[in-house]
Structure 1
Amino acid sequence: MAAIATVLVASACSSSGSSSETKQATLSKDGKGKKITVWLMDDAQKGWPEVLDAAKKEFTAQTGAEVDVQWQTWTNYTTKLDTALLSGNAPDALEVGNTQAAKYIEAGSFVDLTSVKGQFDNSDKWLDSLAASGQSGDGTKTYAVPYYAGARVLIYRKDLFAAAGVAQAPTTLEELKAALTKVKAANASVPGFSALYLPGKNWYSAVSFGAGGFGVKGVIAKKDGGKWAGTLSDPKFVEGINTWNDLQKNFSTGGTTVDESTQDALMAKGNIAAIIGNGWELGSVVDPKTGDPSLKDKLATIALPGAAAGQPTPAFLGGSDLAVPAKAANAGLGATFLQIYTNTAQQTALAKHAIPNAKNLVAAYKAADPANKATGDAAEGQTWFIPNSPQWSGADETALQNAFSAIAGGGDVAAELKKAQETLVKDLNG
């Protein structure tokens, strides 16, 4: 995969040095007798098939064309996509993870949708971080359309909180600290107990606290005069990480060398009162195969509290985008399908299952299930995203993991963040 990715980016640089010369979008209704191919993750097949069926029906009614959805899985998806885009056998529309989009945008692999963006429902209200992931690095052009999102929240044992005398969910960081102090004291005899599980390598959670002090624009790094400049050493970011560090030192037994990948299973064992995770992890904790179903009525979720009530700590917003490959045989029809699949009607229906792509539709998501309130609140609030660059890689995530692991182990906060920043800036600037 790395070799193919290198070819993609190199080909873009050798031709134009940017994605500015990529194919411009059109919206076509001329589809009589045609069939378009769409690649979607099987999340839709399992979670909201009725939404897709409605979009396909409407698309055929408007264009005369049929839709062949080819189901994909995230495993090895980028390898398959890289190969298809290079060989010219790309589908007419596709789904891509929001952390993957920048590479393809830089390589000129997607159609430029800027000129037709205004014809997509709610495009002026798209979720900030999800919209940014589909844009050019300078934010002036749109190449991918937000599809749906997931947000990290605080998942906690309301029974353990209540037993410790915490009757109401905390609304600020100070209230959270006070609650965790009581929960920790009430469970002092439980071996390895974590009032809040914050393993050292869970950099997503750590950076959220940094963003809470610094702000969500340019978290980790930002463009400055055409070059990337690091923001990890900003005093306000460092201050936020000090808050995270205090929490992990005082309330977590997560250790310094592990990440969040096992936290759901550990919480199910009973010695963790709270974790920071994606909303769907609540289901993982109570899964009969991997967790403890008896905890179902004992868990609750809230947006991670921030400095003031009603101002949650910024959450990392993950999710998916939709795009039209530049070499698609039916690019105009592909764009029209995406327009229909993301219109208000379809996104409102999708909101029964996942966070929709626009802020004005999140209310429908929260109304669908009381359990959705926390992730909906997080998505409506400030969210942050990784530097929108094709140069972002797993190596950068490792640098952040190493930094927070070292901090959790007693390392100097400012020094470790500066070290990570130097690595990240070097990578981002090629």
Structure 2
Amino acid sequence: MRRRLLALVCVSACLLTGCGVMSDSAAERRTVTVWLMQHSASQDFLDRFTEEFEREHETLDLDIRIQEWTGVGEKVQRALRGDDPDGPDVIEVGNTQVSAYAESDGLLDLTLESMRDWGRDDWLPGLAEPGRWGSQQYGIPWYAANRVVVYRKDLFRAAGVTPPKTRDEWLETTERLDTGDTQGIYLAGQDWYTLAGFIWEEGGELATEGSGVWKGALDSEAALRGMDFYRRLQKLGDGPVDADEEHPPQAGVFAEGNVAQIVAVPGLVRAIVQQNPALEDTIGYFPVPGKEPGRPGAVFTGGSDLVVPAATDVEDAAVEVVAALTGARWNTDLARTMNYVPNKAELADSVAGEEGLEAMAAGAARGRATPATPRWSVVEADNPIKEYMTKVLTGADPEKEAERASRRITETLAFE
């Protein structure tokens, strides 16, 4: 948004020297300020993109500024309110954050471009759906990452089993692996993102919306079936029932060498191998199994969308940047460079040959996001889902605990 300052400089130059001495290209040149998050893209990728984009758009300059995730929410809100005179024209945001920003009327509506030019119907649902507010598309999918099953090939061979194709097979396989000092699976009791996938696979929801009112839905029959599957799988290992996957970090637990499987993003394997290099050639991946053969299970899809502040004064140029970064050419380049899933299932071939990415891309086709309400972040901060899971895993009545957790979710979502 530095164009206002540039305009003043140009006016001053005209007054001093006469506008006729300025070239048309200099007068028309504009800068697009882009905020991207730390570690989302390598510097090499950004350098290549900037060079090519500026060559193809001779009157545009890119000013890419890297932001840290910590504290970025308030910084983005200030920019959307127009409080930052040197603010961004394009912003990378978490896919589940879009609704909070769109609610304040601070984002440009990109529905027309999405439907007419960018193939909205082909985007991964887990990225596309949270990018909408009402019927309008504000967030444009950039990249995705989701959980797969990370497993020990040597332990599978020793047990005489192969990667399962269905959830029932997964339980049977894990039970055979869970013997002696080997945990069939390490699954922390409060890994609620993994539980969400099991609930969605059963046809349930974390929360539902009707007539603008959101309600917790963990007490539906489908959601209860998802929790029951989680309970049956979790007990085939020694994961703590009162902690999530980061307490302790499951990468460290897997690195100890006596765990056959974990549910994680493929990128976690780097941390595992750093702690135990001997495991590098023993690790494999497969999509989280679904109820039916040949169809991966539903999973939570994380990732980023690109948005354009409504206050930008280079709207058309900002849209050009979004179109380029999310288009097939640069989206597949980013996926290969950073080990991401591209924003469309049809682009999955771009990561072919990389086992972890192939498993992740297969699962991403059935990816979902958390409920598209700005209040969901408040639910996560208090997180009654974690407490509910622990209660069920320690023997409490699932229906009663699900009803209690659902009421808390409803109260949180309704609070103004």
Query: TM-score, normalising length from structure 2?
Result: 0.87
* % identity of equivalent residues: 29
The amino acid that maps onto 1:207 is A
| Aligned counterpart for 1:423 among listed residues 405, 408, 413 | 408
Aligned partner of 2:259: which letter?
I
Matched, 1:114 2:111: yes
Shift of residue 101 of structure 1?
1.5
CA positional deviation for 1:329? 3.0
The CA deviation string for residues 390-412 of structure 1, in whole angstroms up to 9 with x for no partner, is: 11124445211111111112122
Say whether residues 1:91 and 2:80 are aligned partners: no
Taking the TM superposition and a 5 Å limit, the aligned residue runs for 1:258-407 are 258-261=243-246, 262-287=249-274, 291-352=275-336, 353=338, 354-365=340-351, 367-380=352-365, 382-396=366-380, 398-407=383-392
Give the Cα–Cα distance (whole angstroms) in 2 for the partners of residues 141 and 318 of structure 1: 20
Structure 2: gaps spanning 5 or more residues: 1-25
Name the amino acid aligned to 2:290: G
- Other structure's SS at 1:338 match: helix
The amino acid that maps onto 2:342 is: P
- Residues 31 and 112 of structure 1: is their aligned pair in 2 closer, same or farther, counting only changes over 3 Å? farther
Secondary structure (helix, strand or coil) at the match of 2:238 reads coil
User: SS where residue 208 of structure 2 aligns?
Assistant: strand
Please report the RMSD computed on the Cα atoms of aligned residues, expressed in angstroms: 2.1
- 1:43 is aligned with what amino acid? H
How many residue pairs get aligned? The number is 384
Change in Cα spacing, 1:296 to 1:394, as seen in structure 2 (3 Å) is farther
> What is the rounded CA distance, in whole Å, between the counterparts of 1:361 and 1:199 in structure 2?
33
- Is 1:100 aligned to residue 94 of structure 2? no
Residue 111 of structure 1 contacts residue 326 of structure 1 at CA under 8 Å; is this kept in 2? Answer: yes
Quote the Cα distance in structure 2 between the aligned partners of 1:60 and 1:222.
47
SS at 2:45 equivalent: helix
Question: Does residue 64 of the first structure (1) align with residue 59 of the second (2)?
Answer: yes
Q: Which structure's CA Rg is the greater one? A: 2
Q: What are the Cα deviations for residues 352-397 of structure 1, in whole angstroms up to 9, with x where unaligned? A: 13111112112212x15233211011012x2221110111124445
Report the Cα distance in structure 1 between the residues aligned to 2:120 and 2:201, rounded to whole angstroms: 26
Shift of 1:121: 3.0
Structure 1's 418 and 396: CA in aligned 2 closer, same or farther, altered over 3 A? farther
Mark the runs of 5 or more structure 1 residues left unpaired by the alignment.
1-29
Q: Match of 2:166?
A: 172
Residue 201 in structure 1 maps to residue 190 in structure 2: yes
Distance 1:117 1:211 in 2: 26
Per the TM alignment, residue 421 of structure 1 is displaced from its structure 2 partner at its CA by 0.9
1:93 and 1:110 map into 2 onto residues whose CA distance is: 10
Indicate conservation of the 8 Å contact 2:216/2:408, yes or no: no
Q: CA deviation at 1:323?
A: 0.4
TM-score normalised by L of structure 1: 0.84
Give how far 1:351 is off: 2.7
